[in-house]
A and B are shown apart, each in its own frame.
Chain A
Amino acid sequence: MSENEHRTPVQLGTVSADDPRLQPAARHPEQVEKVIAVTFLAGIVLIAGFGACYWVNAAPWALGATFGGGLFLMGIGLIAWGKYLMPRGPFVEERHPLASAPAERDAFAAAIVQRGGGVIKRRKFLGGLLGAGMGIFGVVAAFPLVRSLGPLPKGTLFHTDWAKGTFLVDITGRRVHSDDLAIGSIMTVYPEGLQDTDNGQAVDQTVLIRISNEDFVTQKGRETWGPQGYVAYSKLCTHLGCPVGLYEQQLQLLVCPCHQSMFDVTNGCIPKFGPAPRPLPQLPLQFDAAGYLQSQSDFNQPVGPGFWERH
Chain B
Amino acid sequence: MSQVVNTKRVQRESSGPYGKLGQSLNELDDRLGIAKGGRTFLDKIFPDHWSFMLGEIALYSFVVVLATGIFLTLYYVPSQDLTTYTGSYLPLYGQKVTEAFASTVNLSFAVRAGLLMRQMHHWSCDIFIGAIIVHMGRVFFTGAFRKPRETNWVIGTTMLILAIGNGFLGYSLPDDLVSGTGIRIADSIILSIPVVGSYASFLLFGGNFPGTSIIPRFFILHVLIIPLVILGLVGAHMGLLVRQKHTQFPGKGKTENNVVGSPMFPVFMAKTTGFMFVVAGFTALLGAFAQINPIWQFGPYTASRISYAVQPDWYMGFLDGLLRIFPAWSFHSFGYTIPLEVTIPAVIFPGILFNLVMAWPTIERKFTKDNEMHNLLDRPSNRPKRTSAGVSVAVLLAMLHIASSTDVIANFFHLTLNTVLWSMRILCIVLPIISYPITYKICREMQGFAGAGKRKTTNVVSRTTEGEYLAAPAPAYVDDMVHEHEHDALPVPTYVLEGEAEAAESGGVRRIPR
Bits for A90-128, please: 1 = Cβ < 8 Å to B, else 0.
111111011000000000000000000000000000000
Known: A71-B280, A82-B266, A243-B306. A151 touches B288 (CB 8 A): no
Known: A67-B116, A240-B185. A92 touches B202 (CB 8 A): no
A63 to chain B minimum Cβ distance, whole angstroms, is 5
Contact of A95 among B189, B258, B273 (CB under 8 A): B258
Residue of A whose beta carbon sits closest to that of B191: A307
A217 to chain B minimum Cβ distance, whole angstroms, is 25
Does A239 touch B at the CB level, under 8 Å? yes
Residue of A whose beta carbon sits closest to that of B325: A275
Q: Most chain-A Cβ atoms within 10 A of its Cβ — which of B191, B199, B280?
A: B191
Known: A57-B112, A89-B262, A93-B44. A307 touches B339 (CB 8 A): yes
Pair A78/B270 contact, Cβ less than 8 Å: yes
Those of B28-62 within 8 Å (CB) of chain A: 43-45, 48
Does A144 touch B at the CB level, under 8 Å? no
Instruction: Give the chain A neighbours of B406 by CB distance below 8 A.
Output: 260
Known: A65-B288, A306-B192. A4 touches B478 (CB 8 A): yes
B189 to chain A minimum Cβ distance, whole angstroms, is 7
Bits for A278-311, please: 1 = Cβ < 8 Å to B, else 0.
1000000000000000000000000011111111
Residue of A whose beta carbon sits closest to that of B280: A71
Does B282 touch A at the CB level, under 8 Å? yes
Instruction: Give the chain B neighbours of A310 by CB distance below 8 A.
Output: 336-337
Instruction: Give chain B's interface residue range (CB within 8 Å of chain A).
Output: 35 or more
B384 to chain A minimum Cβ distance, whole angstroms, is 28
Does B103 touch A at the CB level, under 8 Å? no
Instruction: Give the chain A neighbours of B380 by CB distance below 8 A.
Output: none
Does B328 touch A at the CB level, under 8 Å? yes
Contact of B181 among A81, A190, A242 (CB under 8 A): A242
Does A13 touch B at the CB level, under 8 Å? yes
Instruction: Give the chain A neighbours of B202 by CB distance below 8 A.
Output: 150-153
Does A156 touch B at the CB level, under 8 Å? yes
Does A135 touch B at the CB level, under 8 Å? no
Pair A95/B257 contact, Cβ less than 8 Å: yes
Q: Which of B70-78, B208-216, B446-454 contacts A (4 or more CB under 8 A)?
A: B208-216
Does B139 touch A at the CB level, under 8 Å? no
Does A141 touch B at the CB level, under 8 Å? no
Pair A95/B375 contact, Cβ less than 8 Å: yes
Residue of B whose beta carbon sits closest to that of A171: B304
Does B260 touch A at the CB level, under 8 Å? yes
Bits for B91-118, please: 1 = Cβ < 8 Å to A, else 0.
0000000000000000000001101100
Pair B324/A67 contact, Cβ less than 8 Å: no
Instruction: Give the chain A neighbours of B148 by CB distance below 8 A.
Output: 98
Pair A71/B284 contact, Cβ less than 8 Å: yes
Q: How far is the CA of A243 from the CA of B341 in the complex (A)?
A: 18
Pair B274/A79 contact, Cβ less than 8 Å: yes
Q: Which of A27-35, A172-180, A200-208, A221-229 contacts B (4 or more CB under 8 A)?
A: A200-208
Does A258 touch B at the CB level, under 8 Å? yes
Those of B169-214 within 8 Å (CB) of chain A: 181, 184-185, 187-189, 191-199, 201-213
Instruction: Give the chain B neighbours of A267 by CB distance below 8 A.
Output: none
Those of A38-64 within 8 Å (CB) of chain B: 54, 57, 60-64
Instruction: Give the chain A neighbours of B335 by CB distance below 8 A.
Output: 311
Residue of B whose beta carbon sits closest to that of A81: B270
Does A235 touch B at the CB level, under 8 Å? yes
A34 to chain B minimum Cβ distance, whole angstroms, is 18
Residue of A whose beta carbon sits closest to that of B201: A153
Does B469 touch A at the CB level, under 8 Å? no
Contact of B304 among A71, A77, A91, A205 (CB under 8 A): A205
Does B482 touch A at the CB level, under 8 Å? no
Instruction: Give the chain B neighbours of A78 by CB distance below 8 A.
Output: 270-271, 273-274, 277
Pair A91/B197 contact, Cβ less than 8 Å: no
Q: How far is the CA of A95 from the CA of B44 in the complex (A)?
A: 11
Residue of A whose beta carbon sits closest to that of B321: A259
Does A87 touch B at the CB level, under 8 Å? yes
Pair B43/A13 contact, Cβ less than 8 Å: yes
Q: How far is the CA of A69 from the CA of B270 in the complex (A)?
A: 19
Pair A304/B188 contact, Cβ less than 8 Å: yes
Residue of A whose beta carbon sits closest to that of B47: A90
Pair B260/A90 contact, Cβ less than 8 Å: yes
Instruction: Give the chain B neighbours of A241 by CB distance below 8 A.
Output: 184-185, 187-188, 209
Instruction: Give the chain B neighbours of A70 by CB distance below 8 A.
Output: 281
Q: How far is the CA of A243 from the CA of B178 in the complex (A)?
A: 12
Pair B113/A311 contact, Cβ less than 8 Å: no
A305 to chain B minimum Cβ distance, whole angstroms, is 4
Does A76 touch B at the CB level, under 8 Å? yes
Pair A79/B261 contact, Cβ less than 8 Å: no
Instruction: Give the chain A neighbours of B212 by CB distance below 8 A.
Output: 198
Does A245 touch B at the CB level, under 8 Å? yes
Instruction: Give the chain B neighbours of A188 by CB distance below 8 A.
Output: 304
Residue of A whose beta carbon sits closest to that of B345: A275
Q: How far is the CA of A152 from the CA of B197 in the complex (A)?
A: 11
Q: How far is the CA of A97 from the CA of B289 in the complex (A)?
A: 50
Q: Most chain-B Cβ atoms within 10 A of its Cβ — which of A80, A202, A308?
A: A308
Pair B478/A3 contact, Cβ less than 8 Å: yes
Pair B271/A54 contact, Cβ less than 8 Å: no
Contact of A260 among B189, B206, B324 (CB under 8 A): B324
Does B79 touch A at the CB level, under 8 Å? no
Instruction: Give the chain B neighbours of A86 by CB distance below 8 A.
Output: 262, 266-267, 270
Q: Most chain-B Cβ atoms within 10 A of its Cβ — which of A60, A73, A90, A261?
A: A60
Q: How far is the CA of A67 from the CA of B244 in the complex (A)?
A: 38
Instruction: Give the chain B neighbours of A87 by CB distance below 8 A.
Output: 262-263, 267
Q: How far is the CA of A122 from the CA of B329 in the complex (A)?
A: 57
Q: Most chain-B Cβ atoms within 10 A of its Cβ — which of A202, A257, A271?
A: A202
Contact of A203 among B112, B208, B261, B332 (CB under 8 A): B208
B311 to chain A minimum Cβ distance, whole angstroms, is 10
Pair A305/B342 contact, Cβ less than 8 Å: yes
Does B407 touch A at the CB level, under 8 Å? yes
A26 to chain B minimum Cβ distance, whole angstroms, is 13
A93-B260, A150-B204, A205-B303 are known; give 9 further A-B pairs, CB within 8 A.
Answer: A8-B252, A12-B263, A72-B278, A82-B268, A86-B267, A90-B48, A97-B373, A149-B203, A305-B342
Interface pairs A-B: 8 shortest CB-CB: A64-B288, A68-B284, A75-B277, A306-B339, A78-B274, A72-B281, A82-B270, A71-B281
Chain A contacts to B: CB under 8 angstroms:
3-4, 7-9, 12-13, 54, 57, 60-65, 67-83, 86-87, 89-95, 97-98, 146-147, 149-153, 156-157, 171, 188, 190, 198-199, 201-203, 205, 235, 239-243, 245-246, 257-261, 271, 273-278, 304-311
26 residue pairs from A and B, CB less than 8 Å apart? A3-B478, A9-B253, A68-B280, A69-B284, A70-B281, A79-B271, A79-B274, A79-B275, A82-B271, A89-B263, A91-B260, A94-B257, A95-B245, A153-B201, A198-B212, A201-B303, A239-B341, A243-B304, A243-B306, A257-B307, A257-B308, A259-B323, A274-B421, A275-B327, A277-B341, A306-B330
